[in-house]
Amino acid sequence: MSGGRAAALLLVGVLIGGISGGATAAYLTHRAAESPSQPAINVGLPIATPPPAASGTADEEIVGVVQDLLPSVVTVINYASNGQPQSSGSGFVVDAAKGYVITNNHVVEDTRTSGAGSSFDVVFSNDKKASAKLIGRDPFTDVAVLQVAAQGLKAATLANSDEVPVGALTVAIGSPLGEFQNTVTHGIVSAKGRRVAETSQVILEDLIQTDAPINPGNSGGPLLWAATHQVIGVNTLGVTQATGINFAVSSNTVRQIADDIIANGRVVRGYIGIQYSPITPRQAAQLGLPTGTIGIIVSQVVPGSPAEQSGIQVNDIITKVNDQVIDADHPLSSLLVKNRPGDKVKLTLIRGGKEMTVDVTLGQPAQ
């Protein structure tokens, strides 16, 4: 691609919290994307069984995983409606028989709107270029699926990311700045279960933190577990004001989201059927609520929705979902990101000054 400048998107308010909790901190982050001037339901991307850990040296493990999986990694070129390339990133083949390629949602977005790019190419490690079709994308997890013609492809295997230990040797492969194709970096798994605010509306969950360098253009490429030659995450962003703090969407999240996209062309999330707004301190005081009450106040209940069927009313104050407090760090959309129609959730709410719980069976939103 022309131009070597990295358009690092600065995002305020990275919220970092470990699996076991902990303090949150604010940083500036960059998405690792570079900008120049229908199948059967339950597709079921396989859950990998990790092979025995490699017994060689770290150098041998890195060389081995790169030799094995470099052919699976691609550069993704995103074109605007005028046919000009508008951004680029990375990706990897996850299904050789059907030609599915995993990347990030922000790699395939139109850089000027919230929609998708007009068309896409992928470039393989041997410089072969192929056109790609966008199957679907999910902004809430930053995952997208492309499809290319299935000819001589090599797929990478998605690991069970729950099984990778902190401290494991990692390898990242991608095309930083859109210029340096097939770049390899390495590090370790620094932490698991991180939460990062990608935007003010999107908080990414269940991220793997690594100190393997992830630069603009690496977005969508694989984070590999060197010992098992498996993908444990999809590289997505890094912290601008710190060295060695980078994040990848966990492979378990990627598998769930990609299966939904492949089956439906989109992710169908559970639907409650309310309109709401965050409760302000002034509203809380006017309603006689304890100081520090946080949550959302219901402004409308959709007729016939799961909310109405569960007895939720206008002016109810919902404070928790399944015992997790609703606040700026845990918005309702984030708490429901992995729930599907038919799932049951417990809502804690305040009505008339009294706290109660309501079970809601989630529905499916109208098309």
Same domain for 340 and 310: yes
The domain tally of the chain equals 2
Same domain for 302 and 259: no
- Does the structure show a pLDDT above 60 at 11? no
Q: Is residue 296 part of a domain?
A: yes
Q: Is residue 92 part of a domain?
A: yes
pLDDT digits (tens, 9 = 90+) for 70-79: 999 999 999 9
Tokens of 26: 């604010």
Q: Is residue 181 part of a domain?
A: yes
Do the beta carbons of residue 30 and residue 8 sit within 8 Å? yes
Q: What is the pLDDT of residue 70?
A: 95
Which residue has better confidence, 214 or 45?
Answer: 214
Domain CATH number, residue 133: 2.40.10.120
* Per-chain mean pLDDT for the chain: 84
88 is catalytic: no
Q: What is the pLDDT of residue 20?
A: 28
Overall pTM surpassing 0.85 (yes/no): no
- Does the structure show a pLDDT above 70 at 352? yes
- Does the structure show a pLDDT above 50 at 365? yes
- Does the structure show a pLDDT above 90 at 160? yes
pLDDT digits (tens, 9 = 90+) for 107-136: 999 988 889 999 999 999 999 999 999 999
Q: What is the pLDDT of residue 2?
A: 32
Which residue has better confidence, 10 or 155?
Answer: 155
Q: What is the pLDDT of residue 314?
A: 94
Q: Is residue 286 part of a domain?
A: yes
Tokens of 186: 């390495």
Q: What is the pLDDT of residue 120?
A: 97
Same domain for 207 and 163: yes
Q: What percent of the chain has pLDDT over 70?
A: 84
Same domain for 177 and 68: yes
pLDDT digits (tens, 9 = 90+) for 326-346: 987 788 887 888 889 999 999
Q: Is residue 1 part of a domain?
A: no
Q: Which of 38-42, 95-99, 157-161 has the lowest mean pLDDT?
A: 38-42
How far is 237 from 240, CA to CA, in rounded Å? 9
* Other C-beta atoms lying within 10 Å of the C-beta of residue 277: 10
Q: Which domain holds residue 101?
A: 10-264
Q: Is residue 341 part of a domain?
A: yes
Q: What is the pLDDT of residue 97?
A: 95
Q: What is the pLDDT of residue 249?
A: 95
Q: What percent of the chain has pLDDT over 90?
A: 59
Q: What are phi and psi of 145, to 5 degrees?
A: -125, 125
User: In sequence order, what DSSP letters do the residues of 228-291 get, joined into one string?
Assistant: TTEEEEEEEEEETTSSS-EEEEEHHHHHHHHHHHHHHSS----B--EEEEEPPHHHHHHTTPPT
Same domain for 219 and 251: yes
Same domain for 282 and 235: no
Q: What is the pLDDT of residue 363?
A: 92
277 is catalytic: no
Do the beta carbons of residue 167 and residue 155 sit within 8 Å? no
Given the residues 87, 161, 190, 219, select the one marked as catalytic: 219
How far is 203 from 139, CA to CA, in rounded Å? 10
Q: What is the pLDDT of residue 18?
A: 28
pLDDT-based confidence at residue 7 (cuts at 50, 70, 90) = very low
- Does the structure show a pLDDT above 90 at 33? no
Which residue has better confidence, 292 or 35?
Answer: 292
Q: What is the pLDDT of residue 335?
A: 85
219 is catalytic: yes
Pinpoint the alpha helices (H) of the chain. Answer: 58-69, 105-108, 251-264, 281-286, 306-309, 332-335
Same domain for 336 and 284: yes
pLDDT digits (tens, 9 = 90+) for 268-305: 888 899 999 998 888 888 888 888 889 999 999 999 99
Given the residues 121, 138, 142, 316, select the one marked as catalytic: 142
Same domain for 304 and 186: no
Q: What is the pLDDT of residue 54?
A: 52
Tokens of 224: 């590999």
Which residues pair with residue 330 across a beta bridge? 327
pLDDT digits (tens, 9 = 90+) for 243-259: 789 999 999 999 999 99
Tokens of 81: 């409606």
End-to-end CA distance of the chain: 38
Same domain for 310 and 163: no
Domain CATH number, residue 291: 2.30.42.10
Given the residues 30, 106, 229, 330, select the one marked as catalytic: 106
Q: What is the pLDDT of residue 5?
A: 25
Q: What are phi and psi of 334, to 5 degrees?
A: -70, -40
Same domain for 238 and 337: no
| Domain final position from 264, 282, 316 | 264
Q: Is residue 269 part of a domain?
A: no
Q: Is residue 211 part of a domain?
A: yes
Same domain for 314 and 236: no
Distances (CA, A) of 128 to 90, 121, 145, 154: 15, 10, 19, 14
* Other C-beta atoms lying within 10 Å of the C-beta of residue 268: 14
Same domain for 316 and 244: no
